[in-house]
Amino acid sequence: MSSVSAFLEILANSMRDLFGTRYLSGIGFVVLAYDHCLCLNDEIVLVWKAKSSFARTAFLFNKYIVVLSSVIIAWEINGFSGPWAGQIWIPIAGVLGIISQALANLLLLLRIYSLWDHRKKVMLVTLAVYLSCFLVSISFIGVTIHRLRPEMVYSGEPFRTCVLLKKSSSLSVAWGVPILFDVFMVCSTVLNAFDRPRGVDTKLTRLLLRDGVLYHVTFVFLRLFNFSLSMTSSSGTVLMGSYFVWAMITATLNRMILTSRNREENASIEDLLYPEDDEGVRSNSTSKRYSSTYPLNDLSLQDSRLASPRAESARSYWDELHDSSR
């Protein structure tokens, strides 16, 4: 009787872990797809129509490889695949995940480099942190795939998907190291806000929000959630949050980049309308903002009445990242 109870308990725990993985992955996929629909118009205008650059290519490749992977993941873990799918797809997903993580962190690195006015010392330190975290992560991901691939077996009814028979501590290390990079990004953003001269009416919190500190904090908490699940004793929870976190980080990064790009476009308009307004930039000027007499639909970059040094030197988000990657 005790053996039957133990078996039923194991079965119940396995079902709980499986449905938890399915539901979390489904939530991540829905959020990613919904955010894609909401931002598609901005993406077409601000990204697809932008000139070709490394940052633009990295953004698009990372976004759509995650969208495609999310569709395949949903197909596999919901029981629509055969016995072969899990053993083939899970290692591939691990490789795509580390590539996606590398591209996402590289875009964040270039953004921080741009915030710090392309200071070489900042670039060297940030690049060292990036490479260290990436090399450690990819090494432990490789070890994890090698160890766990023999432990992936296809389970028929009622699971109809591949399951892990045991866990590996190397996976926890691989998912824990990127947290250090995200914490470094948060610290760099905060230090940049303190380092930047600002007007007496400019709040520090406004600068931090504009520079995307909340996005970086979100990355930290998402990775902590994934790391905490991988530290549990059950092998069924190892992958429970991985697909969810992958989709959520990608959606958050996409929103962060599009918001920054949109802000650059709006800043160009404001530079033309209010050429003496230096709030939130590296200037000690606190000139008063004056009302413009020029309608937006008549706005032209070639209009000499609205020309200003800031407007002439303004560059887009993608141009900044493109220059940073040189």
pTM: 0.77
Give the CATH number of domain 2-267: 1.20.1070
List, in order, residues 6 or more apart from 125 with CB less than 8 Å away: none
Q: What pLDDT score does 276 carry? A: 45
The pLDDT, as a whole number, for residue 253 is 94
Please report, in tens digits, the pLDDT of each residue of the chain (326 residues total).
Answer: 467 666 566 666 667 777 788 888 889 999 999 999 999 998 998 888 888 888 889 999 999 999 998 888 888 777 666 666 667 777 788 788 889 999 999 999 988 988 888 889 989 999 999 999 999 999 988 888 888 777 676 666 666 677 666 777 788 888 899 999 999 999 999 998 888 777 766 788 888 888 889 999 999 999 999 898 888 767 667 778 888 999 999 999 999 999 888 877 766 555 555 554 444 444 443 333 333 332 333 333 334 333 333 333 334 555 555 555 55
CA distance 73 to 86: 9
pLDDT at 292: 33
pLDDT score recorded for residue 312? 37
Indicate left, alpha or beta for 282 from its phi (over 0: left) and psi (-120 to 50: alpha). Answer: beta
Rounded Cα–Cα distance for residues 263 and 257 (Å): 10
pLDDT at residue 320 in the model:
56
- Residue 153 forms beta bridges with which residues? 163
Report cis status (omega within 30 of 0) of the bond before 309: no
> Contact, 281 vs 311, CB < 8 A?
no
- Hey, which bits of the chain come out as E strands? 152-155, 161-164
| Largest separation between any pair of C-alpha atoms in the chain | 89
pLDDT number for residue 8:
60
Residue 314 is inside which H or E element, if any?
A: none
